């Protein structure tokens, strides 16, 4: 009988440390994590810009009515609301206008201000110039400004970028799962005899799949962490460029939580993909 227990029992009966190609898998997952980090940053940036622009684009078109008597304002509103391309037209409260202008003009009570009507277009492709001509014909002196249309276009573009980022993320996750599946199938081929021995010794599918899945999850998590770290300088540069547009400090613009979650999500995708691959392989055995 031995006197002292062995200090280091093997925790890797399948020899997966050598069978699952660690460098290649880690490198591939790191590359995909880098892409995912860029997509996440793009999504986060587009999200912030869209939110900021959306507020500015509350009125795609504004109409200014000099000498804003109730009749002139009512006529202008009637013209606007009667046109098909207009979704909504609302007069801005004069008190709110005065409040908005107070920092620049001070509290001059009798200063003549134009009436302002905010117009939302039903279709951003509509011609705001035609709208301005129609209003000016009924209410002489009325001026139409359509700079908000551009903001609305940018907001729509930001939304498209967000959707695209989600698509890229889904694609990256799918490719990562496929890469892990290929690596695991290669590992199963390399360790076929060992898997059969464990199966014969009474290992359950969960035992065998769990060993592969833990190894794949660790490798994918490490790869994703490396990819996230590699993405940081690129993201910092982009954040510095976008800072003036987003109105916040560059480091604030980085998607820190997404970057921290990236290794966790990569590990989860790898774990699920490996479980599915190994269990499918084991189903061939009795």
Partner 1 sequence: MPRAGGHNSAMVRFSRVALAYPDARGRPGPEVLRDISFTLGEGSFTWILGPSGAGKSSVLRLMQAALRPSAGEVELLGVPLSRARRRDLPPLRRRIGVVHQEFRLLSHLSAWDNVALPLRLARVPEARVQADVAELIEWIGLAGKEDRRPEELSGGEQQRLTLARAVVTRPALLVADEPTSELDARQARRTLALLVEMNRLGTTVVVATHSEDLPGRHPARMLMLEAGRLVGDA
Q: Measured from the CB of residue 215, what is the shortest distance to partner 1 in angstroms? A: 14
For residues 266 and 17, what is the distance between their CA atoms, to the nearest angstrom? 19
Count of residues making up the chain: 286
For residues 54 and 155, what is the distance between their CA atoms, to the nearest angstrom? 6
Q: Select 206 or 260, whichever has its Cβ closest to partner 1.
A: 206
Is residue 112 close enough to count as binding partner 1 by CB under 8 A? no
Q: How far is CA 195 from CA 188, 208, 212, 278, in A?
A: 8, 7, 10, 10
Helix (H, G, I), strand (E, B) or coil at 87: strand
For residues 178 and 181, what is the distance between their CA atoms, to the nearest angstrom? 5
Is residue 2 close enough to count as binding partner 1 by CB under 8 A? yes
Cα R_g (the chain), whole angstroms: 31
- Please choose, from the candidates 37, 41, 61, the residue with its C-alpha nearest in 3D space to the C-alpha of residue 49: 41
Q: Select 18 or 96, whichever has its Cβ closest to partner 1.
A: 18
Is residue 18 close enough to count as binding partner 1 by CB under 8 A? yes
Is residue 207 close enough to count as binding partner 1 by CB under 8 A? yes
- Candidates 197, 232, 234, 257: give the one binding partner 1 (CB under 8 A): 197
Is residue 5 close enough to count as binding partner 1 by CB under 8 A? yes
Residues 6+ apart with CB under 8 A from 48: 246, 248, 253
Is residue 106 close enough to count as binding partner 1 by CB under 8 A? no
- Candidates 70, 106, 125, 200: give the one binding partner 1 (CB under 8 A): 200
Is residue 210 close enough to count as binding partner 1 by CB under 8 A? no
Q: Measured from the CB of residue 183, what is the shortest distance to partner 1 in angstroms? A: 18
Q: Select 16 or 28, whichever has its Cβ closest to partner 1.
A: 16
Is residue 6 close enough to count as binding partner 1 by CB under 8 A? yes
* Residues at the contact surface with partner 1, assessed by CB under 8 A: 1-2, 5-6, 9-10, 12-13, 15, 18, 193-194, 196-204, 207, 286
């Amino acid at each position: 009988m031995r006197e002292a227990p062995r200090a280091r029992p093997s925790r890797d009966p399948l020899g997966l440390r050598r069978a699952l190609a660690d460098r290649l898998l880690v490198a591939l997952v790191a590359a995909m994590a880098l892409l995912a980090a860029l997509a996440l940053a793009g999504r986060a940036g587009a999200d912030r810009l869209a939110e900021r622009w959306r507020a500015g684009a509350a009125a795609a078109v504004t109409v200014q009515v000099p000498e804003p008597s109730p009749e002139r304002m009512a006529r202008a509103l009637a013209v606007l609301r009667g046109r098909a391309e207009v979704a909504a037209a609302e007069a801005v409260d004069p008190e709110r206008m005065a409040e908005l202008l107070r920092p620049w003009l001070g509290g001059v009570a009798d200063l003549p201000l134009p009436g302002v009507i905010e117009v939302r277009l039903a279709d951003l492709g509509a011609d705001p110039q035609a709208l301005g001509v129609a209003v000016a014909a009924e209410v002489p002196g009325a001026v139409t400004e359509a700079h908000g249309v551009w903001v609305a276009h940018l907001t729509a573009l930001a939304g498209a970028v967000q959707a695209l980022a989600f698509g890229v993320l889904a694609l990256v996750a799918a490719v990562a799962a496929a890469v892990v599946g290929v690596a695991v199938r290669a590992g199963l081929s390399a360790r076929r005899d060992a898997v059969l021995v464990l199966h014969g010794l009474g290992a359950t599918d969960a035992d065998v799949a769990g060993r592969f899945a833990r190894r794949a999850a660790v490798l994918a998590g490490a790869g994703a962490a490396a990819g996230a770290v590699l993405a940081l300088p690129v993201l910092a540069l982009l954040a510095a460029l976008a800072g003036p547009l987003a109105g916040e400090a560059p480091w604030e613009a980085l998607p820190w939580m997404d970057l921290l979650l990236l290794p966790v999500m990569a590990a989860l995708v790898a774990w699920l993909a490996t479980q599915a691959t190994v269990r499918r392989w084991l189903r061939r055995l009795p």
